[in-house]
Amino acid sequence: MSTAKEDVRSLLDRLPDDASLEDIQYHLYVKQKIEHGRSQVESGETITTEQLEERMSKWLER
């Protein structure tokens, strides 16, 4: 498993040389959210399709 510092270096290597700080922050944010989601899946913190549809219907009613 790589360290956070190694992950950031790898991310920076993949971005274009003219990437802005905002671009870098966005990519780090997305990476963090993906890792959090994967962690939730591994620990069983998921919902069924039916539960999702119920939640979404409540949001869409507003």
pLDDT at residue 61, as a whole number: 81
Domains in the chain: boundaries: 4-61
Widest CA span in the chain = 45
C-beta of residue 11 within 8 angstroms of C-beta of residue 28:
yes
Record the tokens describing residue 32, joined without a space.
Answer: 């963090």
pLDDT digits (tens, 9 = 90+) for 45-56: 999 999 999 999
pLDDT of 31 over the 80 cut: yes
C-beta of residue 15 within 8 angstroms of C-beta of residue 22:
no
Residues 59 and 9: their CA atoms lie apart, in Å, by 39
